[in-house]
Every structure is written in structure tokens, then in C-alpha cells.
Amino acid sequence: MVKDFIRRLKEKYIENQVNNTEIPKFSDSEIVNKNFKFSGKVQGVGFRFQFMLMAQELELVGWVKNLSDGRVEAEVQGPRNKIEFLVDSMKNKPIIRINNIEEKEQALNNKLKEFKAVY
């Protein structure tokens, strides 16, 4: 019961963080697909949930998941400038500390239709 309350409180805090992020107006940009691996304090701090909500807000598609080695991996597809904004915004979130980002551009994936957290 207490764990559920804490989880809901944490989710509400994260939703507020995303809702308080000022999203700029974007110009047209090339559509790309990128794979990211984030390391640092990125697990147990709401990184996946926050990344997913922000990606959905930006109308990007893809997924985000925890890796067994403590990193978080994401595949993100959409306008390049929106993906850059997403990654930059994650660098400035309280609690989260990104030490390193591995980034790889890949072929577009037409199977991606939404953005979700993978468990």
C-alpha cells in the first residue's frame, strides 16, 4: 500500500516535470531513427517514464528500456530537431544524471507506430 502510494507520487512528480518543460515551435527537419544508450544515474529515477512521456509529447515513435548493465537504451524516430530536444531536455532533469550517451543513427523503421516503455 505504501509502495503503491510512493509509486503514484513519483509518477505524478514526473508528469509535472514533463508538463513544465517548455516545448519550442519546431521547423521542418529530416526524419531520422537513432539508437541511444544512456549511462549514469538513469535507472530507478523515472528516466524511462519521463523519456516516454516527453517523446509522446513531441510526437516521436520508438521505445525505451532498462538494460541489465544499468544503462537505458532507446530507439527514437522522428524529426532530427525534436530528437535532439528530447535528449537535451533529459540532461537537465532533477534526480537524473547522464554521464555518457552512445548514439547511433540507423535505418528508418516503418514498424514503429507509437512511443512506449519496454519492460
Domain count, the chain: 1
Q: Which residues of 11-27 are buried (b: 16+ CB within 10 A; e: fewer)?
A: eeebeebbeebeeeeee
What does the pLDDT look like over 51-71, one tens digit per residue?
Answer: 999 999 999 999 999 999 999
- CATH number for the domain that contains residue 86: 3.30.70.100
80 labelled catalytic: no
Instruction: Considering the candidates 16, 19, 20, 48, report the single residue annotated as catalytic.
Output: 48
Residue 19 annotated as catalytic: no
DSSP, res 33: E
Among 66, 80, 92, 99, the active-site one is 66
Q: Is 95 exposed, middle or buried (0-12, 13-18, 19+ CB in 10 A)?
A: middle
Whole-angstrom distance, CA of residue 52 vs CA of residue 29: 21
Query: pLDDT 10s per residue in the chain (119 long)?
Result: 777 766 676 666 666 666 667 888 999 999 999 999 999 999 999 899 999 999 999 999 999 999 999 999 999 999 999 999 999 999 988 889 999 999 999 999 999 999 999 98
Domain containing residue 73: 2-21+29-118
Residues paired with 118 in a beta bridge: 65
Contact 46, 107 (CB under 8 A): no
